[in-house]
């Protein structure tokens, strides 16, 4: 687990990582084989981005920074997918679903 | 007779059936005493719960589907049951281990300072109980047919998974008439009484739920049962007659036409209503898009919702009331907390003008939706003319902004609710309003200085008080003299006892509960 790819993004969503955004985030995360973790601080604690129980327990708020890191074959794509999902505000504005 | 319990009617109707206790129905489970078997029991119960919720998800959409989707995702996550599995390996029984693990998880949510996260504790309790039910071998799902559901409160999932096709009713110790479940019950015509208060109702085996009297009769004797049979037959006969009026235009005995529109909230209500049965929507309560504990709907979500109401109505008018929260309708993060008298505080337009960001989002969504039908926009709780003119300026500026962006939009006419006595007494101050809609519930409450949700002063809270009707007469007269359309959208319009009075007041447009359409039209034909 030494080679981490990392990134960060500011949460724009009204209430932060709430139920519906968390469901989306963990679904996207599970699409990657890499170990994928998120944290509220750059130095952790890091939690499993594929576990909605743990993601919800973070209670990440609006305007807070979400740190993302991944390790594995598809690590760069995984970090990109998570940061862009959060940056797009979980596709909740202006889309049909 | 049987024992009578008085409550508040959240959804009208009459039903008698066996009791199903909610969350009290847990059978005692005998632990196997074997670690592997306990572990397997919990795994099976989790899998059954997930399957059950998954089946339910296929039948609903929108917010209900989101609630279920969240619960499924949580239950599928091994991290949720991990502490319980550890406890089982230390010799604790599966049900106790699961309860303890969920208690810790629920406490984490309940201790959050954020209202949105705190509200999720109810979902976790719902999940906890579902799994416990499966652990105890009580697979009641689908079995709740033609029963009276009794409990402290009812989670939306329990309502959604009940088969109401054979009838049924809901009787709650707590509960609220404005909850999501109450809305669903009204839409499906399931009788529901809340606020019964008395837990001794849990020991009843059969109940009569009488929405028209806000009454529950526990273990009715033969007299009560035959009274029920008679009332039920009468009601069915009356419904039969009312149905024949449903698709006819509303006419008085002398042939004079009255416009009868409907009051609605959730989009899900529309499915059960035929637009041909009414003259449009007289009141769409937009605050029901803003659920306590849920994220505020953004412009796009609001636009899509408003558009559905307009498309449903076709060319008929749709009056959407801007956010009317505060008072008895708190929304975390928007309404002030700790007001000593919320009904006289920051509510309705007072609140939206104080939260221009929220107001502008709504006005933009409305202006965009306006191109899809005949939209009117209505401002609640107006007290002084400046509130109307400031709202009009904001609406115009939103339309200008949208046009500059190239977004299709239109400027809908802007009218006001007449519910603060100041407006009813001096309607001439509001001649700029495109229309008046009398909100008789709040008007009555403010004129009689009696709360509408306090049973001890319920007798004072009478819309038939001459002071209230005199104000209605004055507003109707002012409207006629100055070409300002006047209608009435409070509960008074849905109550046949007040119908003649309202017509005598000079009103020719009423907005009623959808379930009352046939009854009101039938009663009109006699006046």
CB contacts of B80 in chain A (<8 Å) are: 53
**Per-residue confidence (pLDDT) for residue B178, from 0 to 100:** 61
* pLDDT reading at B81 higher than 70: yes
* pLDDT reading at B386 higher than 50: yes
Tell me what the mean pLDDT of segment B37-57 comes to: 92
The answer to whether residue A63 is domain-embedded is: yes
**DSSP labels, B335-372:** S-SS-S-GGGSS-THHHHHH-HHHHHHHHHHHHHHGGG
CA distance A56 to B237: 53
Of A13, A18, A52, the CB nearest to B73: A52
The answer to whether residue A97 is domain-embedded is: no
CA distance B88 to B10: 43
Instruction: Give the domain ranges of chain B.
Output: 3-24+143-234, 35-135, 247-524
Closest of B363, B429, B366 to residue B391, by C-alpha:
B363
Closest of B261, B196, B155 to residue B485, by C-alpha:
B261
Provide the H-helix boundaries in B189-277.
222-246
| CA dihedral over B288, B290, B291, B292, signed as positive or negative | negative
Each residue's pLDDT tens digit, A23-69: 999 999 999 999 999 999 888 899 999 999 999 988 887 788 999 99
Q: How many helices (H) and strands (E) does chain B have?
A: 18, 16
| B425 within 8 A of B473, measured Cβ to Cβ | no
DSSP class of residue A64 equals P
Domain B35-135 class in CATH = mainly alpha
* pLDDT reading at B24 higher than 80: no
**CB atoms A18 and B298 under 8 Å:** no
What's the pTM value of the predicted model, to 2 decimals?
0.64
> Domain B247-524 is classified in which CATH homologous superfamily?
Phosphoenolpyruvate-binding domains (3.20.20.60)
Verify whether residue B398 is a known catalytic residue: no
**Per-residue confidence (pLDDT) for residue B476, from 0 to 100:** 97
The contacts of residue B176 (CB under 8 Å, 6+ apart) are B10, B182, B194, B195
Residue B453: pLDDT band (50, 70, 90) is low
* pLDDT reading at B424 higher than 80: yes
B 90-119: CB under 8 A from A: 105, 108, 112, 114, 116-117
Lowest mean pLDDT among B24-28, B236-240, B326-330, B335-339: B24-28
- Number of structural domains (chain A) is 1
- A30 touching chain B per CB within 8 A: no
Residue B206, Cβ neighbours under 10 Å: how many?
Answer: 16
| CA dihedral over B386, B388, B394, B400, signed as positive or negative | negative
Strands (E), B180-220: 192-194, 206-210, 215-218
CATH code for the domain in which residue A19 is found: 3.30.1340.10
Lowest mean pLDDT among B176-180, B390-394, B400-404: B176-180
In the sheet that holds B192-194, the strands lie side by side as B3-6, B215-218, B206-210, B14-21, B147-151, B169-172, B192-194, B8-11
**Per-residue confidence (pLDDT) for residue B498, from 0 to 100:** 94
Please name the residue of chain A whose CA is at the shortest distance from the CA of residue B109.
A57
- A88 touching chain B per CB within 8 A: no
Q: For residue B470, say if its preceding peptide bond is cis, omega within 30 degrees of 0.
A: no
**Per-residue confidence (pLDDT) for residue A97, from 0 to 100:** 33
* pLDDT reading at B359 higher than 90: yes
* Biggest distance spanned by C-alpha atoms of chain A: 40
Residue A4, Cβ neighbours under 10 Å: how many?
Answer: 16
Which value, to the nearest 10 degrees, does the dihedral of the CA atoms of residues A53, A59, A64, A69 take?
-20
**CB atoms A15 and B295 under 8 Å:** yes
User: What's the ipTM?
Assistant: 0.87
The contacts of residue B342 (CB under 8 Å, 6+ apart) are B326, B327, B328, B330, B335
Strands (E), B92-205: 147-151, 169-172, 192-194
| B394 within 8 A of B388, measured Cβ to Cβ | no
What six digits make up the tokens of A21? 């955004």
**CB atoms A56 and B296 under 8 Å:** no
**Per-residue confidence (pLDDT) for residue B144, from 0 to 100:** 60
Lowest mean pLDDT among A43-57, B363-377, B450-464, B492-506: B450-464
The answer to whether residue A10 is domain-embedded is: yes
Half-sphere exposure of B172 (CA within 13 A, CB side): 23
**DSSP labels, B163-174:** B-TT--EEEESS
Domain extent, residue A13, equals 5-90
* pLDDT reading at B470 higher than 60: yes
Closest of A5, A12, A9 to residue A36, by C-alpha:
A5
* pLDDT reading at B27 higher than 50: yes
Verify whether residue B409 is a known catalytic residue: no
**CB atoms A15 and B114 under 8 Å:** yes
Tell me what the mean pLDDT of segment B348-373 comes to: 97
* pLDDT reading at B64 higher than 80: no
CA–CA min distance B72, chain A (Å)? 10
CA distance B75 to B70: 9
**CB atoms B79 and A15 under 8 Å:** no
**Per-residue confidence (pLDDT) for residue A72, from 0 to 100:** 92
Each residue's pLDDT tens digit, B244-285: 898 999 999 998 999 999 998 777 778 778 999 999 999 999
Each residue's pLDDT tens digit, B245-255: 989 999 999 98
Each residue's pLDDT tens digit, A79-97: 999 999 998 888 775 333 3
| The architecture CATH gives domain B3-24+143-234 | 3-Layer(bba) Sandwich (3.50)
Tell me what the mean pLDDT of segment B161-176 comes to: 86
Within its chain, how far is the Cα of B263 from the centroid? 11
Each residue's pLDDT tens digit, B183-223: 778 777 899 999 998 888 888 999 999 998 899 999 999 99
Question: Which conformational region is residue B35 in: left (phi greater than 0), alpha (psi within -120 to 50 degrees), or beta?
Answer: alpha
Q: B61, B65, B68, B74: best mutation site toward chain A, by most A Cβ within 10 Å?
A: B74
Tell me what the mean pLDDT of segment B416-434 comes to: 98
């Amino acid at each position: 687990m030494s080679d981490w790819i990392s990134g960060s993004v500011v949460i724009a969503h009204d209430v932060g990582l709430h139920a519906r955004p968390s469901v989306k985030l963990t679904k996207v995360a599970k699409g990657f084989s890499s170990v994928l973790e998120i944290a509220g601080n750059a130095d952790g604690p890091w939690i499993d981005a594929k576990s909605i129980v743990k993601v919800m327990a973070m209670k990440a708020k609006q305007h807070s920074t979400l740190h993302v890191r991944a390790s594995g074959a598809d690590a760069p794509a995984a970090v990109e997918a998570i940061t862009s999902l959060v940056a797009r505000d979980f596709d909740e504005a202006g889309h049909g679903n | 007779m049987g024992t009578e319990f008085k409550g508040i009617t959240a959804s009208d109707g009459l039903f008698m059936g066996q009791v199903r206790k909610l969350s009290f129905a847990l059978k005692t489970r005998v632990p196997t005493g074997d670690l592997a078997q306990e572990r397997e029991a919990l795994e099976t119960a989790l899998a059954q719960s997930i399957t059950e919720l998954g089946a339910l998800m296929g039948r609903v959409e929108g917010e209900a589907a989101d609630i279920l989707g969240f619960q499924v995702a949580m239950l599928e996550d091994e991290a949720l049951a991990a502490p319980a599995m550890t406890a089982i390996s230390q010799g604790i029984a599966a049900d106790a281990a699961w309860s303890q693990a969920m208690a810790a998880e629920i406490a984490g949510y309940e201790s959050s300072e954020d209202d949105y996260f705190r509200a999720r504790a109810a979902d976790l309790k719902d999940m906890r109980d579902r799994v416990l039910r499966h652990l105890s071998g009580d697979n009641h799902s689908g079995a709740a047919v033609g029963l009276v559901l009794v409990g402290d409160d009812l989670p939306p999932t329990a309502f959604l998974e009940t088969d109401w096709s054979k009838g049924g009713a809901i009787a709650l110790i707590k509960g609220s008439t404005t909850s999501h479940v109450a809305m669903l019950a009204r839409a499906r015509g399931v009788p529901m009484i809340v606020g019964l208060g008395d837990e001794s109702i849990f020991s009843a085996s059969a109940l009569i739920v009488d929405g028209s009297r806000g009454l529950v009769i526990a273990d009715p004797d033969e007299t009560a049962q035959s009274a029920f049979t008679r009332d039920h037959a009468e009601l069915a006969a009356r419904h039969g007659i009312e149905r024949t009026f449903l698709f006819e235009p509303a006419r008085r005995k002398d042939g004079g036409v009255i416009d009868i529109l409907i009051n609605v909230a959730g989009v899900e209500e529309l499915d059960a209503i035929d637009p041909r049965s009414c003259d449009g929507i007289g009141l769409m309560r937009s605050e029901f898009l803003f659920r306590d504990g849920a994220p505020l709907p953004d412009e796009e979500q609001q636009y899509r919702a408003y558009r559905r109401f307009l498309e449903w109505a076709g060319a008929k008018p749709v009056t959407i009331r801007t956010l009317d929260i505060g008072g008895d309708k708190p929304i975390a993060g928007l309404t002030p907390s700790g007001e000593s008298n919320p009904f006289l505080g920051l509510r309705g337009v007072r609140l939206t003008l104080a939260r221009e960001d929220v107001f502008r989002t709504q006005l933009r969504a409305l202006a965009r939706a306006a191109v899809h039908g005949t939209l009117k926009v209505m401002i609640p709780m107006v007290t002084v003319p400046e509130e109307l003119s400031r709202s009009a300026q904001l609406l115009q500026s939103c339309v200008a902004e949208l046009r500059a962006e190239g977004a299709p939009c239109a400027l809908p006419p802007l009218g006001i609710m007449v519910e603060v006595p100041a407006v009813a007494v001096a309607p001439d101050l509001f001649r700029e309003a495109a229309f008046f809609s009398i909100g008789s519930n709040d008007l009555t409450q403010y004129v009689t200085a009696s709360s509408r949700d306090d049973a001890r002063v319920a007798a004072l809270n009478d819309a038939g008080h001459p002071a209230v009707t005199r104000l209605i007469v004055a507003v109707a007269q002012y409207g006629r003299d100055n070409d300002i359309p006047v209608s009435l959208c409070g509960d008074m319009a849905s109550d046949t006892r007040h119908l003649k009075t309202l017509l005598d007041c000079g009103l020719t447009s009423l907005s009623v509960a959808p379930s009352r359409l046939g009854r009101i039209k039938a009663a009109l034909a006699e006046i």
